[in-house]
């Protein structure tokens, strides 16, 4: 079985080369992922509860998120993962990046936004559940139970709200 390769980057998202996915689990190596802020027509945001067997942030709420593989771009990753994890194809737009030093982790996240009312077909290996939530209710829940949410959700939501309010 051939091991999946992932792009290694520096802390400023410059590509260094390809490494096996296993290397990223064992060592302190920077890599890329794509994050989707998926809204429905009512303006509610999709949250996914990460699977209990996930290495990072198990059983915590997050945006839909996936790591890039091979030499794929952030956009190619987003297109592939919305189909694989959510079972949909949707037009999306890149909003901003969250670099590793913004969240104190080893991932450069490209943050995309999309809107859909399509029925989702979930990849149950990646997530335990999903739910739609208003931004106001999400901010309230984060204030009450911050330990239930991933660091990238905190930073990404903050940047999105700041962008949206300007």
User: What does the pLDDT look like over 54-113, one tens digit per residue?
Assistant: 877 899 999 987 889 888 999 999 999 999 999 999 999 999 999 988 887 888 999 999
> Is the pLDDT assigned to residue 2 strictly greater than 80?
no
On the CB side of 126, how many CA atoms lie within 13 Å of its CA?
19
The answer to whether 110 and 97 have CB atoms below 8 angstroms apart is yes
Q: Pairing state of beta strands 64-67 and 127-133?
A: unpaired
Model confidence over 121-136: pLDDT tens digits? Answer: 988 877 888 999 999 9
Q: Which of 116, 109, 105 minimizes the C-alpha distance to 94?
A: 109
Output 114-117 pairs: Cβ under 8 A, ≥24 positions apart: 114/36, 114/37, 114/38, 114/39, 114/82, 114/90, 115/38, 115/39, 115/40, 115/41, 115/90, 116/38, 116/39, 116/40, 116/88, 116/90, 117/40, 117/41
The angle formed by the CA atoms of residues 61, 62 and 68, to the nearest 5 degrees, is 145
Q: How many Å apart are CA 83 and CA 114, to the nearest integer?
A: 13
The residue segments making up the domain with residue 46 are 5-165
Total residue count of the chain as it appears in this document: 166
d(CA 117, CA 114): 10
The CATH number assigned to the domain holding 60 equals 3.90.79.10
When divided into structural domains, the chain yields a total of 1
pLDDT tens digit sequence for 16-44: 999 998 888 777 899 999 999 999 999 99
Q: Which two tokens stand for residue 90?
A: 């949707």
């Amino acid at each position: 079985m051939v091991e999946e390769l992932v792009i290694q980057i520096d802390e400023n998202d410059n590509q260094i080369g390809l490494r096996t996915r296993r290397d990223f689990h064992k060592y302190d190596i920077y890599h890329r992922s794509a994050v989707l802020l998926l809204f429905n027509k009512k303006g509610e945001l999709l949250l996914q509860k990460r699977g209990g067997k996930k290495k990072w942030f198990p059983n915590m709420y997050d945006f839909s998120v996936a790591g890039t593989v091979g030499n794929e771009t952030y956009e190619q990753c987003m297109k592939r993962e919305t189909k694989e994890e959510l079972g949909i194809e949707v037009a999306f737009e890149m909003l901003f990046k969250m670099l590793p030093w913004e969240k104190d982790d080893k991932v450069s996240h490209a943050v995309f936004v999309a809107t859909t009312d399509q029925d989702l077909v979930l990849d149950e290996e990646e997530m335990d559940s999903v739910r739609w939530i208003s931004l106001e209710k999400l901010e309230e829940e984060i204030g009450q139970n911050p330990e239930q949410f991933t660091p990238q959700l905190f930073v990404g939501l903050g940047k999105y709200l700041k962008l949206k309010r300007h």
